[in-house]
Structure 1
């Protein structure tokens, strides 16, 4: 006998209703259609539907027909009787007390930009220009830490619920690009696309620096959203260059080009007659002097950004945490590493060269991924594959883990490449007789979401046996709390300074109970040159996004922390101590270019 829910309703098709304790159930037979864990209330209850529909094209027209393009702009709040002088803080009792001062300031700044005021009475008066967007740039670490129905069907129900309830709709960048982008399916999805583009009253972009390439589909899709009320949340709005910053500013403030002015004498012929090209040329002229002798361009740019960019440099971390000790560690490569690095440096392809330099600097056996290039060393590479001491960075990491464990501290190791992480993981489990998933945790982009969360929870649990977590920088550089670590190792260097900044902020963030020690490892001139470029970008970001309340000077002052006992022990080792070439504690980023003398400063 067929015991499926579809065959159990005496009235034919199920009539779904929402039971907030159980989930989506049939109103007649009370069969569970969708477990509550898969439901995002409030849900609209359609008149009838079939559970086996798998595509939007098969969904009931009764739902689609009710998606009207009514005005859902976030104007005044629902009509309620409030005391005279009430503000948006009164909408949710107690929330103001739960925030840090910089968060309260940023919250009010946000409301004043998107709605004009924080007072309820003032919010009832619509703004003549419809409001505008803003950027909230608070330093990373300053935030306190399918059940039978088709996925597409669930999405549509949630979309309808959002439309009817004037609520919040959370969508990933990838999914928004798919549903609202130009490359989506035709037909019924045209209506979905229109809904997502035309109906939002407020667009909030978390990690809002992500869509910064004006040639990317997500950037183009987000620019199609009609509302002018946009908020970007990002601790690192400046990523690589001023062009990306311009794209970010145009995304959050579609009228930003109007502020560029007409003082620059640029002919239409120079820009092929296109307004977009003309505006970009104005931007280039405005910003070309930033970081050089003239300060006029910087002053003009800061004046333009000040009304809609709120900056907090993270002084809250210095006031609440025990400290951050950042150290540049320059190591002598082994003789075999030197030979392989010289061969790798001859590559004409820059990204291939950088990758090989990074791999070889960790351990020479990793050169085997390009055995054709290093075929002459094949037997030697196979011979030393299991010897971690053959690679100076690997040796550093192994010694650090051993010494940190003796002090009851945990180590977080980051790399932009998978091969070094896998190699070190294998050496750790073999040398210390530890187990993966117990003492040794590993995380990259291929890891299942549930497994990733289990690893994070275990690593942050003081009672667990976790000793070390090896992680891909791109897999867990944003939005992940790893305060279980007090020692952070950056195996290699990336061009984008914000990636490393975000990685460090996984451990150095609110909730951390120990001093955090960061070790940036270098063995080659290539790595140092990349870091010097990184410093140049960081300096540019600091020039543009200095806080409005005088935090700039304070934020560069690192807290006084005790000496590094682990590093001192390694330096004092008669054998390994000779591997250190140079150590720079608490480097001042504004001075590093002069120290290395590698980047031409005009």
Structure 2
């Protein structure tokens, strides 16, 4: 019997039946896998393990809402915050309501009171480490915002889609339609056009002529050309849409830039080998990354430059993407480039992100020493 077992979540689920002996300590890294308040197979499997103590390690305890925080707390300390329904009623709803600009004073007071109580309960079993603690041991990081104007073709497609979206909402207004229109407008900030088969195998491939009609691809072409001719730095390109990565491939192929790509279609077994090869050799100059498939947990310190092609509604997603290259083991100065199209939905997203962090109460930062 070995005193220590290191195992992935997937293998743990598959071998659960043979791992039912009593465990003294369970440590779960990449805690974002356990933040579903409705539960999932991984949470159910780990919860069934007879264990005296549990520890969860995570860089983003709250990404979308406070229910994620409840899920983590309930996993390591079951029942400490009550069930999900009571947590919503006692803590989540009053806290979020108090953060609204139009909230009355009594609502704000109630929210502050509940936040303080939640902090008091949580601080007894939460130890927080700030990124600033590690940053003093990391190389410098420079973040830049690159504003791009839509090309003429993009602008025509964007305006057409916006007008079409308004017409569709006039006929049938629903949250689903709103989100669909927003997603289309976000894609048009990078792509020259969109199709019904977007992000599927049946979608028509872009041509190089179409790639040159994208202002962000024009920037990428010039950027990569300068990067490879004046430095030996390598690059990670991150996007929320796989079709955007298709366009990047065209640009890189046209300049004979070696690259690799990791998205949802990449086999799990191949991902580790791909990352290790990128970090340990100069086989590839660029790494194309889907933020949904690999934006969390990957170590890509083989590159020291990163381009965010499109902003995410969730600021934690973008921060996690940046952390792929600015992390322990990085020896070179890091440069982050955010690409934004002016006069588009992307500016609305960025404006919203400037406000949204204030709505997330930092309930775990009070008294824990660094």
Same fold, TM-score > 0.5, yes or no: yes
CA contact (8 A) 2:128 2:365 kept: yes
Gaps of 5+ in 2: 101-107, 170-176, 199-203
Deviations 1:209-233 (A, max 9, x none): 2222232333344444443521111
Number of residue pairs matched by the alignment: 342
CA contact (8 A) 2:263 2:289 kept: yes
Partner residue of 1:149? Answer: none
Q: Distance between the aligned counterparts of 1:279 and 1:413, measured in 2?
A: 39
Q: TM-score, normalised by structure 2?
A: 0.80
Partner residue of 1:312? Answer: 129
Partner residue of 1:447? Answer: 266
Q: Per-residue deviation at 1:517?
A: 1.4
Deviations 1:502-552 (A, max 9, x none): 21111001111222111222225322333444454544457334364687x
Q: Distance between the aligned counterparts of 2:304 and 2:47, measured in 1?
A: 41
User: SS of the counterpart of 2:51?
Assistant: coil
Q: Per-residue deviation at 1:392?
A: 0.8
Pair 1:279–1:236, CA change in 2 (3 A): closer
Partner residue of 1:556? Answer: none
Q: Distance between the aligned counterparts of 2:70 and 2:272, measured in 1?
A: 35
Partner residue of 1:350? Answer: 178
Q: Per-residue deviation at 1:353?
A: 2.4
Task: Report which of the two structures shows the higher radius of gyration computed on alpha carbons.
Answer: 1
User: SS of the counterpart of 1:201?
Assistant: strand
Partner residue of 1:336? Answer: 153
Give 1:401's match in structure 2, choosing from 224, 243, 256. Answer: 224
Pair 1:284–1:538, CA change in 2 (3 A): closer
Q: Per-residue deviation at 1:351?
A: 3.8
Pair 1:442–1:279, CA change in 2 (3 A): closer
User: SS of the counterpart of 1:433?
Assistant: coil
Tell me, yes or no, if structure 1 residue 173 matches structure 2 residue 17.
no
User: SS of the counterpart of 1:362?
Assistant: coil
User: SS of the counterpart of 1:364?
Assistant: coil
CA contact (8 A) 2:123 2:366 kept: no
Partner residue of 2:172? Answer: none
Pair 1:202–1:457, CA change in 2 (3 A): closer
Tell me, yes or no, if structure 1 residue 231 matches structure 2 residue 67.
no
Pair 1:240–1:537, CA change in 2 (3 A): farther
Q: Distance between the aligned counterparts of 1:494 and 1:535, measured in 2?
A: 12
Alignment of 1:397-546 (within 5 A): 397-405=220-228, 406-430=230-254, 432-434=255-257, 439-449=258-268, 451-461=270-280, 464-523=282-341, 525-541=344-360, 543-546=362-365
Deviations 1:148-202 (A, max 9, x none): xxxxxxxxxxxxxxxxx2633444434545665xxxxxxxxxxx28x63x73332
Q: Distance between the aligned counterparts of 2:368 and 2:69, measured in 1?
A: 22
Q: Distance between the aligned counterparts of 2:337 and 2:126, measured in 1?
A: 32
Pair 1:391–1:369, CA change in 2 (3 A): farther
Give the helix-richer structure, 1 or 2.
2
User: SS of the counterpart of 1:167?
Assistant: coil
Gaps of 5+ in 1: 1-164, 181-191, 259-274, 372-377, 552-602
User: SS of the counterpart of 1:474?
Assistant: helix
Q: Distance between the aligned counterparts of 1:337 and 1:279, measured in 2?
A: 46
Q: Distance between the aligned counterparts of 1:279 and 1:458, measured in 2?
A: 45
Deviations 1:23-73 (A, max 9, x none): xxxxxxxxxxxxxxxxxxxxxxxxxxxxxxxxxxxxxxxxxxxxxxxxxxx
Q: Distance between the aligned counterparts of 1:340 and 1:537, measured in 2?
A: 30
Deviations 1:413-449 (A, max 9, x none): 001221111221122112x133xxxx22222232245
